[in-house]
Every structure is written in C-alpha cells, then in structure tokens.
Amino acid sequence: MTVQPVSAPPMVMGKIHQLITSKGIDEARRSAGADKNARLCVDAAYGVLCDDQAQVGIAHAGFAMAALPHKKVQESVWERDGGQVKLLVESGLDSERRPIGIPYGSIARMILLYLQTQAVRTRCRDVELGSSMNAWLTAMGIPVGGKTYQIVREQSRRISRCRLTFFRRTLTTELVTNGAFVRDAIMPLDPDSSRQVPLWQDRVRLDEGFYQSLIEHPLPLREAAIREISNRSMSIDLYIWLAYRLHALRHPVEIGWQSLHRQFGDGYKEVRFFRRDFLPALRLALAVYPEAKVDIVDQVGLILNPSTPPIPMSSRMIAARG
C-alpha cells in the first residue's frame, strides 16, 4: 500500500521558496492568508533567500541528536537520548551547594551557538565576549536589553556552571566524553545588585574536552537561517538535526512518530500533543532550509530524502579548518 504525504498548504510543503522566487514576497504572504505559522514560514524563507553574505555558524554535531530542554525543568540532571548519541547535563551548584538549574530554551542555544562558532572560526578555546557577543545576539534578533536582559543573564549563569557527559555508541563500543561548556564563568560576579556591571566578561575559555570534541565534530550551519528561527528552540533543534542528517543520506529514510517523540518530545506525554506542536516547528525549520527534501506522512511520521547541505561543501571545508 502506498502511503500518501499528508496534505498541507503549498507554502509549508517545500513550495514556499518557489512561490517567493516566481511570484514575489507579497504574493507569497497573500497565499499564507490568516495562518500565523504559514506567515512566519514565508517571512523566514524570504529572509534566507535574501541572504547574500552566507555567513557560516557552527554547532557541535552531537547536538543534532541530543539537545537541551525547551522549557525550565526541575530535575538537576537532564537526559536526552538520540540513539547513537546520548547527552547528560548536570546542573551546577552555587557557593551554598544549591543547584543553579539546567540551561534551556532558545536563548541558551543562541549563546552556545555563538561560543561554538567563534571557537571554530578562531581555532582557539578563548572566545571574546563583551561587545562581540552583544552584537552577534542583536544581529540574530535577540537585543540584550529590556525584558531579555535577565533571561540572557540567567541562561549564561546556567551554561557557565553545568556539567556535560556525551555518550557515543557504536555496535561494539561506547565513547564517553566528560566536561562542561566553559571553564570560566561567562558573567562577572555581581555581589551588589544595585551596581551597574557589564553583562559579559571580556573573554571566556571553553572547557578543553568540549572544545576538542567540537573541533573534531563541527556542524556548519547558515547564520541567516539561525537568525530567522532564533526565538524558536524546537525549530533550532530540527534545523540542526536536518542539517546533520539529510546531506549524508544515500536513500530515503522513514522516521516514525514514536521515534520523533522520543528524540524531540520532552515534556509531551502523548504523541498526538507532540505532533500538534512539532509540525509547525518543523515547517519553520524547513522554511529556512530551502534545500531540504522532507515528506510529512500523516499516520507514519517523516520521510527524509537525500538533500544538499545548507552550507556548500567548499564552505564546510573552510569552516571545519577554522
């Protein structure tokens, strides 16, 4: 029996980019109608198609299979199992031995993407912060001020203190990498909350184990794509996952809803509720990855098809060399 992909508006099923190119952005926005997610997809796709700088960002390839939580969690140890890769994140402690909490959400991901990108670009564990991090976050659509100041500061604090364990599995072995994201805190200490202090230190040193693993397993991403989805943590995870998986495929691969739920559905007890929120996030990720070929099959899950990577191979080689 042939399974037909589930029907959906053209702009969210891979034709959005053709529509923008052939009819223009105004016609694409009219075609989206009152569908909020479709409008987001149109604008995100347009932002990527208009990108002429093609700046390359970097994520650790392990985050394609195992990522941070999307929302605040109460546990002091976070576990994400992506099959071949498993990630444990342990909350750091304050000076009174109280758990600080696990980093979560889109801003934590954006801070980490900056640190990883700069480390690979400069081929150095020491990453400049200060105005450089502020400028990058602002360029990515996250101005560090107003309501976001406390969120950015809190996520930086959590990133600075947490501990990591990556498990990479093969048929015969399990490679375990222990460490942290950073060796030094990202933020200066502020014992007096009434004083005005800089948000960042001048520079931070990445943990040696994390840095070495990052250099060995860099995943090039398109910064324009990250900018368009910078406030959507699940879309960020899906974009990274697709960027990792699709270009390496030699034939179509079916991924069932249960498998997708296990990998991406933290916080969802039932698959049906996970699917409800997963599909808009996926469509947004596909909007910023024009080369991706993914079919959504209603009762089955996804069919991933071999696709061109979001970063051309020549740029991937340059990014990998730093």
Q: Where are the domains of the chain?
A: 10-50+250-306, 58-219
Q: For the chain, count helices (H), then strands (E).
A: 12, 11
The structure tokens listed for 71 are 């929302």
Are residues 54 and 87 in contact, defined by beta-carbon separation less than 8 angstroms? no
Q: Are 220 and 319 contacting, i.e. CB atoms less than 8 angstroms apart?
A: yes
pLDDT at res. 318: 47
Report which secondary-structure segment, H or E, holds 292.
none
How confident is the model at residue 321, as a pLDDT? 52
The span from the first CA to the last CA of the chain, in angstroms, equals: 49
Question: Cα-flanking dihedrals φ and ψ of residue 205, to 5°?
Answer: -105, 125
Q: What is the pLDDT of residue 199?
A: 77
Nearest to 42 by CA among 52, 61, 28: 28
> In Å, how far are 164, 169, 193, 247 from 8, measured between CA atoms?
40, 37, 51, 25
- What is the Cα gyration radius of the chain? 20
pLDDT at 2: 40
Q: 72 and 101 in contact (C-beta within 8 Å)?
A: yes
Whether this prediction's pTM lies above 0.85 is answered by yes
DSSP one-letter code for 10: G
Whether residue 162 contacts residue 91, with contact meaning beta carbons closer than 8 Å, is answered with yes
pLDDT tens over the chain, length 322 residues = 344 444 344 344 458 899 999 999 999 999 888 889 999 999 999 999 999 888 999 999 988 888 899 999 999 999 887 777 788 999 999 888 999 999 999 999 999 999 999 999 999 999 999 888 889 999 999 988 888 888 999 999 999 999 988 888 787 888 887 889 999 888 776 545 545 567 788 889 999 989 998 999 999 999 999 999 999 999 999 999 999 999 999 999 999 999 999 889 888 889 999 999 999 999 999 999 999 999 999 888 999 999 999 987 655 544 555 5
Write the DSSP string, 60-82.
Answer: EGGGGTS---SS--S-SEEEEE-
* Residue 205 pLDDT: 94
Q: What is the pLDDT of residue 7?
A: 38
